[in-house]
Amino acid sequence: MRFHSPQKLKTIADLIGAKFVGAEDFEVLGTNEIHRVKAGEIVFVNHPKYYDKALNSEATIILIDKEVECPEGKALLVSDDPFRDFNKINTHFTRIYNFTEELHDVEIGEGSKIHSSAVLGNNIKIGKNVLIFPNVVIGDRTIIGDNVIIQSGTVLGGDAFYYRKLDGNFDRLISVGNVIIEDNVEIGNNCTIDRGVTDSTIIGAGSVLDNQIQIGHDTVIGKRCLIASQVGIAGCCIFEDEVTIWGQVGVASGFTIAKGTVLLAKTGVNRNLEKGTYFGMFAEDFKSYLKKEVKLRRLL
């Protein structure tokens, strides 16, 4: 999430009541989740296991629960609860509506048709010749390109599934990102595409999604991808262009799938994948899987 205008390190420290390490006027451009963070942005870390990853990431400002040696060219915000204070920063700079206030800043392009039962949030942009079927829900800050079809019951821009356990309960990391649907995308019935925690969940131009698909926060689906029904994709994944995913595939968070890859039905993905065709619980090369099956059957 980028701030509307650059902020100063001391301003952010005062907002959350944190100690800072760095110049008072050190520039802060926004916040982001570790998988998507860029220079000038804040990333949070609250466990020693992940200190090095955060300190050596693209982040320029690290919101951390212990004062450590600060890398050159970066700054620290030292907090007793970085998770809480990350939420505080994000909600200070991004207003949360949750469909509780009247619509405003909804832009709809020429030739677009939206069924009267659809529910729209705030700060939404819809391109030209878009067709939105009954009972679609479009959350705040969603951007939809031209010539898009969204069929009944689909939800764009729901909250990310991102929690920590605190005092025996689950505490949500508040989602202030959005969903971007590029041109010429078709989305089937009853799909759910969560908005980014602090960045964008993106469906690339020309991609087609079947019914009942779940796509997690901050995931990027490339151009001209084909996704069959009942696929579940966790957050922060990257699917390069022209990936084909067949029914009931499951993908764990944070992995990259190379351009042109095919995931056959019920494949489970637990690592980055180079281009190929995969099948099975642990995404085996399909030809290797078949050879193994032949050998096993010969043992019978």
Active site residue 217: yes
Q: Which residues of 279-289 are buried (b: 16+ CB within 10 A; e: fewer)?
A: bbeebbbbeeb
**Which is nearest to 125 in space by CA: 112, 136, 102, 141?**
141
Total residue length of the chain? 300
The phi-psi region of residue 16 (left if phi > 0; otherwise alpha if psi is between -120 and 50; otherwise beta) is alpha
Q: Of 92, 104, 115, 217, which is the active-site residue?
A: 217
Tokens in use for 92? Answer: 């200070």
Residues 199 and 1: their CA atoms lie apart, in Å, by 5
Contact 215/202 with Cβ under 8 angstroms? Answer: no
Tokens in use for 155? Answer: 């939800």
Residues belonging to the active site: 217
